[in-house]
Amino acid sequence: MTDRHSNNPPGEDNTNTHTNTPDANPGSILHPLPADSAGLPSERTGGPPVRSVPWDNTAGTTTSGGRQAGLWGDAWRQLRRSPVFWIATSIIFLFGLMAIVPGLFTDADPHFCSLERSVESPSREHPFGYDIQGCDYYARVIYGARVSMTAGVLVATVASLFATIFGALAGYYSGLLDTIIARLTDVWFGIPTVLGAIVVLSTVGNRGILEVSLVLAALGWTTMLRLMRSAVLAEKNADYVRAAQALGAPHRRVIVRHILPNSISPLIVYATIFVGISITTEATLSFLGVGLQLPSISWGLMISTAQNRILQRPHLLIYPGICLSLVVLSFIMLGDILRDALDPKLR
């Protein structure tokens, strides 16, 4: 991985301000998920940093109106023009709204069921039909958005907060602290998320959305910590950091005000994709029977309850399945497009 240096034509790269850091590794940001895995051995080889990004170093001290030429300003200008960005954010917004106020989308009560209508096919008044218990499937699909969105956002937030703090500390201080954090990360990385979650959750008696999310966050932070650590490592010897240190800025200020803004974008990209991954994981666990339990309404659980009737009544699979895939797809597309916008090398 470390050897896959970018080959930007000279001149295209003139905004790059990196100094003594080796050439940035485009792979890590090109493909957050697999590239991290590739970043694993690269760390051992003392691999080069993830990237170096031009940044308006005066941001925060002097922003004298006018055109802001920072990384985020540039990124926003590029995002604004991208139809994929608008499609993804609208879908996410729609499902977010569904999660917060499901009443906007349906009057039906998802918990009102009558067995007479069990697995009735879709009709005009009830577009998604009925489930095995005879509940209105459309209402249940709508109410199911809450679990998926909460799980995804909660897992990604908790895990990325943890990863930011400890990744930044490990990258900035190196030495013993770095070694300890890196070894612990190796240990956690040895446990595959789904398998680990099955083991842990099958010993948790009452599983709600909070329990499931916390277990997933506890198992899923490793990739983000490694991204953060190598990004901080790439920045910490840059001239502007040296300058801030020479001016007497305390370590905390150097990290928070100078290094983090310049090194957080790979993490943000991956966290966005991780929301999608976590939604899939929650649904998979609920499908397997170690995630949420009835009477919770979750898309994975709905498909799980219906699994013996799916071949006769495809509507039981199709509607929650489509919603699930659509939400996950939106987060993955958003992550992809963010990565393209935030990585100046790709421009």
Partner 1 sequence: MGRYIARRLFQLIPVFFGATFLIFAMVYAIPGDPIQALAGDRQISPSTVQALREKYNLNDPLPIQYAKYMGNLFQGDLGESLRGRDVTEIIRQKFPVSLRLALLAFAFEAIIGMAAGLLAAIFHRSFLDMLVLVSTTAVISIPVFVLGFMTQLILGVELDLLPIAGIQDGWRSYILPASVLAAVSLAYIARLLRTSLIENLRADYVRTARAKGLPQGRVIGRHALRNSLIPVVTYLAVDLGGLMGGAIVTEGIFNLPGIGNEIFRAVQNQDGNIVVGIVTALIIIFLLMSLIADLLYAWLDPRIRYD
Q: Would you tell me which residues interact with partner 1 (CB under 8 A)?
A: 1-4, 6-7, 26-27, 30-31, 33-35, 37-38, 40-41, 44-46, 183-184, 186-196, 198-200, 202-205, 276, 280, 283-284, 287-290, 300, 303, 307, 310-311, 314, 317, 321, 324-326, 328-329, 332-333, 336
Q: Which is nearer to partner 1, 259 or 290 (CB)?
A: 290
To partner 1, the closest distance from the beta carbon of 117 in angstroms equals 23
Q: State in angstroms the smallest separation of the CB of 217 from partner 1.
A: 13
Q: Residue 55 gets which letter from DSSP?
A: -
Q: How far is the CB of 65 from partner 1 (least distance, A)?
A: 39
Please state the closest distance from residue 172 (CB atom) to partner 1, in A: 23
Distant-in-sequence contacts of 164-169, Cβ < 8 A, 24+ apart: 164/224, 164/228, 164/260, 164/264, 164/267, 166/225, 167/224, 167/225, 167/226, 167/227, 167/228, 167/229, 167/231, 167/232, 167/267, 168/228, 168/229, 168/232, 168/255, 168/259, 168/260, 168/263
The 8 Å CB, 24+ separation contacts for 173-178 are 174/233, 178/229
For 7-62, the DSSP string reads -PPTTTTTT----SSPPP-HHHHHSHHHHHHHHHHHHHTTPPPS------TTTTT-
Distance CA 78, CA 72 (A): 10
Please, which residue, 147 or 238, has the CB nearer to partner 1?
Answer: 147
Which run of H or E residues covers position 212? Answer: helix 209-220
104 vs 195, beta carbon nearer partner 1:
195
Of 297, 301, 318, 300, the C-alpha closest to 102 is 297
Nearer to partner 1, 62 or 203 (CB): 203
- Minimal distance, residue 187 CB to partner 1, in Å: 3
Round to whole Å and give the CA distance between 222 and 185. 6
User: Residue 235 in contact with residue 263, Cβ under 8 Å?
Assistant: yes
In the bound state with partner 1, the residue whose beta carbon lies nearer, of 204 and 256, is 204
- Of 207 and 258, nearer to partner 1 (C-beta) is 207
Closer to partner 1 by Cβ: residue 216 or 259: 216
Q: Which one, 47 or 171, has the nearer CB to partner 1?
A: 47
CB of 45 to partner 1, least distance (A): 4
Nearer to partner 1, 46 or 66 (CB): 46
How far apart CA 115 and CA 309 sit, in angstroms, is 15
CA–CA gap between residue 51 and residue 25 (Å, rounded): 6
Least gap, CB of 28 to partner 1 (angstroms):
10
CA gyration radius for the chain?
23
For 62, 109, 133, the CA distances from 305, given in Å and listed in that order, are 58, 19, 10
